[in-house]
Amino acid sequence: MDKRTFLKICSAAFASPFLSKMAAWALGEKLHNWAGNVEYGTDRVYSAGSLEEVQEFVRKQSKLKVLGTRHCFNHIADSRDQFLSMKAMDKVVDLDAQARTVTIESGMSYGKLCPILESKGWALHNLASLPHISIAGACTTATHGSGVKNGNLSTAVSGLEIVNAAGDVVKLSRARDGETFRGAVVGLGALGAVTKVTLDLQPSYQMQQYVYENLPLSELTKNFDAIESAAYSVSLFTDWQNKRINEVWLKHRMENGKSFDAPAEFYGAKRATKNMHPIAELSAENCTEQMGVPGPWYDRLPHFKMGFTPSAGQELQAEYFVPHKNAVDAILAVEKLREQVGPHLYITEIRTIGADHFWMSPCHNQDSVTIHFTLKPDWPAVRQLLPVIECELAPFGARPHWGKLFTMAPARLDSLYEKLPEFLVLARKYDPQGKFRNEFLNTNVFGTAS
Ligand SMILES: Cc1cc2nc3c(=O)[nH]c(=O)nc-3n(C[C@H](O)[C@H](O)[C@H](O)COP(=O)(O)OP(=O)(O)OC[C@H]3O[C@@H](n4cnc5c(N)ncnc54)[C@H](O)[C@@H]3O)c2cc1C
């Protein structure tokens, strides 16, 4: 069975708890994440269709996890007991033009929301590399795109509705709830079931995307800030070989409808003459339009189009955030590992993210640069490689992505989050018995074995 057929079956399967079991049965395997590297501990999925159903279900369970679109590569979403899916709850609840906000039910994906916003003249400030992911799952794990001035996707959140462990509805807003709000937005799924999310909007805008090939590494290290600031959103792709960045993706915002005149050369890199995939050997069919063709924000900010497999498809991912000021040194440190990394790597992506104030965000109070690894799906080899990368990046204060693979010791992780003690207090207030906690959270965040 190919991946597209699998995704179709699973998407239908989430419509009902009965069907989810059928899908697992039809596949002869348990429910698993998008990448297929995590087989979840249960295939029991309850699909809620309303807030009341969520409340009733949460009240009845002693242990559960909310499942989003299953795009995390680690066990953060896993459960041995019971899943709650809100995939069927995917409506726009309110679009407030005056407040410039949209409120959505938490089963909504960016892929579904963005065309709706565009049709009404509105946009979001940024998107991840793919639109397929749920907004609630993305925001609770601090998912990000790129851009020196762009905060991660969670920074667009101005309000949350959460069903806590008691089944009660809690409403939080940026304007009213200050520090509690800052603790709750990147909640890692530990506070309860997020049932609604309110996001900041801005007027719709057009973008142009250009790709440049073969940027000399020496140019990058000399001109890092200028290169990263050369467009609204910049992504650098490298295989770490031959002292070069293979591809530079520049995503320009067309202010007042004005086109960006892209030069043929960019710091020694040459403008591509055809659409590219970040992994140059793969077809660009799955990728958003390039070559400067103007298009709406939601069709240029992600690298991959909705309706197509994003990235390589069969892969593992790991990603580390370092403070922006350490970026060049961190990049050079990883480059030293090129011989070790090379055989396991499809591609690395380097992006920038603006600082935010969310307690458990890897960008908490610091402008950051991420070094991401799309790796071949060989976990025994990747498990050997990640500690080597983590050791090399440790002097730069690297924090792993909450939704990707890492091997960092929990004690080290804890030491990187100064607001962790406050977060634990908040989580225990919303969920005193650990109903929404799983082994991943107990080990990596709560510091206790499950
Ligand atoms: C091909 C690919 C490309 C990616 N690109 C990027 C990228 O560009 N940038 C980036 O930062 N990340 C990227 N990611 C990672 C991805 O964005 C995150 O893993 C994100 O969490 C996925 O959301 P999800 O809904 O699939 O989460 P899931 O894996 O389903 O769940 C993740 C966590 O969120 C919780 N959760 C989900 N929904 C709710 C809810 N309603 N209430 C409470 N808790 C909830 C779950 O319990 C779990 O703890 C990529 C992943 C893939 C597979």
DSSP for 1-38? --HHHHHHHHHHHTT-HHHHHHHHHHHTS--B-TTSS-
- pLDDT score for 449: 46
- Say how many Å lie between the CA of residue 14 and the centre of ligand 1: 16
Helix or strand holding residue 67 (H, E): strand 65-67
Distance between CA atoms of residues 403 and 228, nearest Å = 24
The H helix count followed by the E strand count for the chain is 14, 20
Return the bridge partners of 197, or none. 104, 160
- pLDDT score for 448: 61
- pLDDT score for 28: 52
Pocket of ligand 1, beta carbon within 6 A: 34-35, 65-72, 76-77, 86, 106, 128-130, 133-134, 136-138, 140-141, 143-144, 188-189, 193-194, 310-311, 401, 403
What are the mean pLDDT values of the chain's consecutive 10-residue runs (450 residues total)?
38 38 50 96 97 98 98 98 98 98 97 97 97 97 98 98 98 98 98 98 98 98 98 98 98 91 96 96 95 97 85 88 98 98 98 98 98 97 98 98 97 95 98 98 82
- pLDDT score for 255: 87
- pLDDT score for 257: 82
- Say how many Å lie between the CA of residue 76 and the centre of ligand 1: 9
Nearest ligand 1 atom, CA 310: 1
Helix or strand holding residue 317 (H, E): strand 316-323
- pLDDT score for 12: 36
- pLDDT score for 406: 98
- pLDDT score for 434: 98
- Say how many Å lie between the CA of residue 132 and the centre of ligand 1: 10
- Say how many Å lie between the CA of residue 34 and the centre of ligand 1: 10
Q: pTM for this one?
A: 0.93
